[in-house]
Amino acid sequence: MDHNALGRSARGTARVRACLGIAAVLAVAVPSLMPTQAQADPASHVATTQWSTETLAPGLEVRTGTITHPDVTHSWTVAVQSPGISRLTGAATWSEVGTRNWADTTAAKLRDAEFQPRVETVRWPDYSDTPHGVMGLRVRVGSFSTQAAAQSAAAAITAAGFRTSVAWTGYDIQQPADRENVHVAVIDPRVFDGTVEGTHDGSLAQRRTTSSVAARLHSLVAVNGGFFVTSDADGVQGTMSGLGAYDGRLGSMAAGARAALILGDDGRHIRVADLTTTVTAQARNSSYRIQGINRVPGLVRDCGRPGATPSALPWQDVTCRLTDDLVQFTPAFGADLPTGPGVQAVLDASGRVVTLGVRGGRVPAGGRVLQAIGGAADWLTANAEPGDRIRVGEVVRDTGGRRIELDGDDSIVSAAPTLVKDGRIDIDAAAEGVVDPQDLSFGYAWANVRQPRTMAGVDSKGRLILATVDGRQTGGSEGFTLHEAAEFMRSLGAVQALNLDGGGSTAMAVRGTLVNHPSDATGERAVGDSVQVLPAPSD
């Protein structure tokens, strides 16, 4: 670790905090937000940062910032892809980063084909649970002022027998971004008289834009929430692929132990912790583990459930499968129930079995439905005769073993990974399933390349920090890597922070109007849940 760099980072943090306290627009020079890597010297480039601050209510401020590096120039280039095999699925994969042997051999073949390659070293970000030092090498060709010119060169290199992609160097970690557009909301629960809640806006089996929910609820500020199902092949679109709790009730279960934002007492008590969920059905003298809430039996988006294949551990954007699966549906599901092989028991408000039969229909008001496949279907059939009572117990714990009690004014929004813990950058990227040190094709672009991001954290005074950075905008805003996101949150004073859903999902709305620029070509993406900052009810 470069202690001089740490000192520079600390001084930069102080300057950023000073800027945040000023309501007028101003420009200041701060060291660029860069992870500690040998090929990137934070002192070699100076950022110009402009902040504007608006107070929406006592205890609620929104800060808009633009971070630029005037002395940095980026270009388009052609990246040659390294072949591999997915460690998780065994399928063929391609990655921009490969071994030294692959890089040297590929560069020699490119030179033989009369191209002029360059070999670049890529180092691991300072994650808490991955190797340090060199991750691998990448091979690139050319520097082009336009994407079209790079695509033309890529076509020629592909025709020579190489697999290629076109890359913008502004997304690399090796140099600072041209520009990063950020929005930050700071909510002080000691002063703010409104509420903060995670919400799915009535129906879990739906997708709605963050700003449309904010407009309907008359929110002062809103950001998108956690990961959710986006394809019918992976389940019911809009349902969460990690832990979600709304109005004190579980709407979905955790994917292993992943980061979560706990909004207790309508946002009066806020913290970030890795959470797990255990749900059990008890009938007669027998019990069975429920592995899902409000999801299609057998499909586990982002994995992280016992018995799931190919892995019981969390894996970002991977759909695992369970052959024996018991799933609970609540009235909040709000849609037709999944159909297919297996059996279901419809329960009334007291937990008594009303009917046992084929899967389908709707969840009755005030009741629940248990759907089961495989061995779970055999258990349910044997223990769910009409008139019998089935009790369902739900337990949420942090990784320290402490139980999280949920009341009607509590909510939880989760994603991955943790960014800041106890005031220090602490990114458990491998444990939370967003990178795989043994398979560089998995998670490299998701975690280690600049992307749009949404982040949430808590500072030492208990204030909630909600932040977004736009990304994937060549010549506009290039986004953060995970490590840059952690550094940014710490620069704002966060002592705990996590990464929420990002990419095309990243959105912040102020007074119901979208204020950032989402990266999806079609505009703001409809998402699963969101975090809404609501004004106090008028008298």
Give me the pLDDT at residue 538, please. 80
pTM over 0.75, yes/no: yes
Report the alpha-carbon distance of residue 395 to residue 350 in Å, rounded.
Answer: 19
Angle, in degrees to the nearest 10, between helices 482-491 and 3-20: 60
* Beta-sheet pairing, 292-293 with 325-329: parallel
Report the alpha-carbon distance of residue 504 to residue 524 in Å, rounded.
Answer: 7
Residue 310: asked if its preceding bond is cis (omega within 30°), the reply is yes
- The DSSP code for 460 is T
CB 263 within 8 A of CB 412: yes
What ranges in 99-209 are assigned the alpha helix state H? 100-112, 147-159
CB 433 within 8 A of CB 303: yes
Give me the pLDDT at residue 528, please. 98
What ranges in 165-324 are assigned the alpha helix state H? 210-217
DSSP H or E segment with residue 335: none
- The residue type found at 343 is V
Phi and psi at residue 172, to the nearest 5°: -75, 155
- Residue of 70, 14, 53, 17 whose CA lies nearest to 183: 53
Mean pLDDT by 10 residues, the chain (539 residues): 35 37 33 34 70 97 95 95 95 96 98 98 97 97 98 98 97 93 98 98 95 98 98 98 98 98 98 98 95 98 97 97 98 97 98 98 97 98 96 97 97 98 98 96 96 98 98 91 98 98 98 96 95 90
Report the alpha-carbon distance of residue 135 to residue 21 in Å, rounded.
Answer: 39
Phi and psi at residue 106, to the nearest 5°: -65, -45
Under 8 Å CB-to-CB from 308, ≥6 apart: which residues?
300, 320, 321, 322
Give me the pLDDT at residue 522, please. 87
Give me the pLDDT at residue 44, please. 63
Report the alpha-carbon distance of residue 168 to residue 184 in Å, rounded.
Answer: 26
Give me the pLDDT at residue 202, please. 87
Report the alpha-carbon distance of residue 327 to residue 239 in Å, rounded.
Answer: 13
How many Å from the N-terminal Cα to the C-terminal Cα in the chain?
A: 56
- Domain boundaries of the chain, sorted by first residue: 3-70+178-189+416-509, 76-171
DSSP H or E segment with residue 210: helix 210-217
Report the alpha-carbon distance of residue 490 to residue 170 in Å, rounded.
Answer: 23
CB 311 within 8 A of CB 320: yes
Give me the pLDDT at residue 539, please. 57
DSSP H or E segment with residue 138: strand 134-144
